[in-house]
């Protein structure tokens, strides 16, 4: 017989206590185990819920009127519930300060900051945290550098206004004078152009480029191909957390979580569907109309560069997640990231 960990029993009791308090606040009537199971998505057997409610009563968190089998919260129960909410709020405030400090230390390394943010989301939620990089249609080119690394190779460094850095080696054979002219050509024509439009812009400018230097034109076309390879990207962390949510009802959710950690493009596709809606959002199971999400919920929030949403961050986990905690965490982290982008 599998031994249930003490931490799991404590978590189950907290959920049942929360359910009883919420239901009692709505109806002012004693709450039975059947209501807890049916109305609050507690995926435990009726016998298990009854036993845990009895233990909560023995511990002084619940009581029951003599005329009813249902329970009502005691003052001690209310206090535990309020303290848990305040603890979540305090955690969110502390985490918001922590991530602000992280951003201040890495103010020029946005990719590192986004990766760290996904780890923080994952660490505090114990689910999968993710942050989509600024979308390419809103991510404009700031500068392009061309650095010779050998006689036949050039390192192309692309820096965007959002602080993203992309680099790639390309097989090009040009002298320093030609490289300088090519760099000037690219920066003159692509500065402030979005990554999504860069390929079309450079192809158009090449046609009107009147210099009779076939090598230079060929090199520019080679660089043009790089922009076709730039796609929306996402930072994901928390694959190891999938096993932490397991119970007899969660195996399908575990498999789906692992699949999303392995297939970034699938998660990007799902997020992009609701990107333009902005604000904080919760998709629960079948609400997304995707079979991959039938056992999962996604809590997301957009982050902004000024007044415009440019990316999304969030948490993906089982439908039985603690939504108040997850909403608070996602909201706090998005605020911190907004502040970072504002102050860059």
The domains found in the chain, sorted by start residue, are 6-73 (1.10.10.10), 86-134+232-343 (3.30.450.40), 141-228 (3.30.390.60)
How far apart are the C-alpha atoms of 307 and 326, rounded to whole Å? 24
- Predicted TM-score (pTM) of the model is 0.54
Interstrand relation of 62-63 and 281-284 (parallel, antiparallel or unpaired): unpaired
Q: How far apart are CA 340 and CA 107, in angstroms?
A: 8
| b/e code 290-326 from CB counts within 10 Å (16+ = b) | eebbebbbbbbbbbbbeeebbbbbbbbbbbbbbeebb
pLDDT per residue rounded down to tens, the chain (344 residues) = 456 677 788 888 888 888 888 888 778 788 888 888 888 878 888 899 889 999 999 999 999 887 777 888 887 887 787 677 666 656 666 666 766 666 666 555 677 778 888 887 887 777 888 888 887 777 788 888 888 888 888 888 888 887 777 778 888 787 888 888 888 888 888 888 887 788 777 767 666 554 445 556 666 666 666 665 666 677 777 655 554 444 444 556 566 666 666 667 777 777 776 666 667 888 877 776 666 677 778 888 888 877 777 888 988 877 767 777 788 888 888 888 888 777 76
Q: At CA 276, angle to CA 99 and CA 316, rounded to 5?
A: 50
């Amino acid at each position: 017989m599998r031994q249930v960990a003490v931490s799991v029993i404590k978590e189950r009791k907290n959920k049942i206590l929360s359910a009883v308090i919420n239901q009692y606040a709505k109806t002012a009537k004693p709450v039975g185990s059947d209501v807890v199971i049916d109305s609050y998505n507690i995926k435990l057997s009726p016998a298990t819920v009854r036993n845990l409610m009895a233990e909560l009563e023995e511990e002084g968190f619940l009581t029951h009127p003599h005329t009813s089998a249902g329970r009502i919260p005691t003052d001690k129960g209310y206090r535990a519930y309020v303290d848990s909410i305040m603890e979540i709020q305090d955690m969110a405030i502390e985490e918001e300060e922590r991530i602000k400090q992280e951003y201040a230390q890495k103010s020029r390394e946005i990719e590192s900051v986004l990766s760290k943010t996904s780890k923080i989301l994952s660490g505090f939620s114990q689910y999968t945290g993710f942050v989509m990089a600024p979308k390419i249609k809103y991510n404009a080119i700031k500068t392009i550098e061309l650095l010779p690394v050998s006689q036949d190779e050039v390192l192309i460094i692309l820096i965007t206004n959002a602080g993203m850095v992309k680099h790639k080696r390309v097989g090009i054979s040009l002298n320093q004078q030609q490289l300088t002219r090519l760099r000037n050509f690219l920066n003159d024509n692509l500065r402030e152009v979005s990554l999504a439009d860069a390929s079309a812009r450079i192809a158009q400018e090449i046609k009107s480029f009147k210099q009779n230097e076939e090598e230079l034109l060929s090199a520019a076309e080679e660089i043009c191909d790089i922009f076709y390879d730039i796609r929306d990207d996402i930072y994901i962390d928390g694959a190891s957390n999938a096993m932490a949510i397991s119970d007899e009802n969660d195996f399908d959710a575990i498999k789906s979580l692992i699949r999303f950690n392995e297939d970034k493009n699938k998660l990007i596709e799902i997020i992009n569907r609701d990107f333009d809606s902005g604000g904080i959002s919760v998709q629960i199971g079948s609400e997304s109309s995707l079979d991959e999400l039938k056992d999962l919920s996604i809590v997301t929030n957009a982050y902004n560069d000024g007044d415009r949403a440019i990316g999304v961050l969030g948490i993906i986990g089982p439908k039985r997640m603690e939504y108040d905690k997850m909403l608070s965490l996602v909201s706090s982290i998005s605020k911190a990231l907004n502040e970072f982008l504002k102050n860059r």
